[in-house]
Structure 1
Amino acid sequence: MNKSLSLLGMAMRAGKLVTGDETVLKAVRQGKAKLVIIAGDASDNTKKKYRDKCGTYGVQVVEALDRAVLGHAIGKAERVLIAVTDAGFSSSIQRSLSQSSEVEYID
């Protein structure tokens, strides 16, 4: 768990994350998003919208943590959506999240 949070922080500092509805959607559409993380406490509408959109564009989606933890990990206020735009960070974050029980994989 802590490893995934520190990886998110590093990705943020490296400029490899985008957050927020519009920017995440844009990254998915442009093929820049490698991984989308949705907070576990996001609305059902948001979860469905991103599951569908990411499915269409072939982007991995992970539902993990909650908005307060996600925001804190990247040094921002609460965040419901985060897109990782770097393949290296994406696979490392996915690996560390999958070792945690807080995650629900969505295909």
Structure 2
Amino acid sequence: MTKQRHKALSLLGMAMRAGKLITGDETVLKAVRQGKALLVIMAGDASENTRKKFQDKCGTYSVKLIEAFDRVTLGEAIGKSERVLMAVTDAGFSKSITQSLTQPTEVEYID
């Protein structure tokens, strides 16, 4: 696992302890609909039904959706059992986690 991806997991754990993370299918869906979710993280091993449902909902409500890790890794990051969906409700955590998961890990060659 790259350093950046490890950082994202650490940030998820901190967000959970700070009370800025929502987990579970229905509670995440509710947060998206209410405009509380700023970022939704979905496990890479989510079912096709769940994947489509949240891609559609996040697209409709303009919430960033990132597919990363697997359900076991996401659960361990926050000290819980397996988790497929998480919603971050804090702007700072959302920005930091997004950067950690989307930044290129390789340094580009500069002429």
Structure 1: 5+ residue stretches without partners: 102-107
> Is 1:90 paired with 2:99?
no
Distance in 2 of aligned mates of 1:98 and 1:71: 20
Q: Name the residue aligned to 1:51.
A: 55
Fraction of identical pairs, as percent: 74
> 2:30 is matched by which residue type in structure 1?
K
Q: Name the residue aligned to 2:19.
A: 15
Alignment of 1:1-107 (within 5 A): 1-99=5-103
Instruction: Report the Cα offset of residue 40 of structure 1.
Output: 0.0
**Aligned-partner SS, 2:87:** strand
Please, what is the CA RMSD of the aligned residues? 1.1
Structure 2: 5+ residue stretches without partners: 106-111
Distance in 2 of aligned mates of 1:73 and 1:63: 15
Distance in 2 of aligned mates of 1:30 and 1:88: 19
**Aligned-partner SS, 2:83:** coil
Distance in 1 of aligned mates of 2:59 and 2:18: 27
Q: Structure 2 length normalisation: TM-score?
A: 0.88
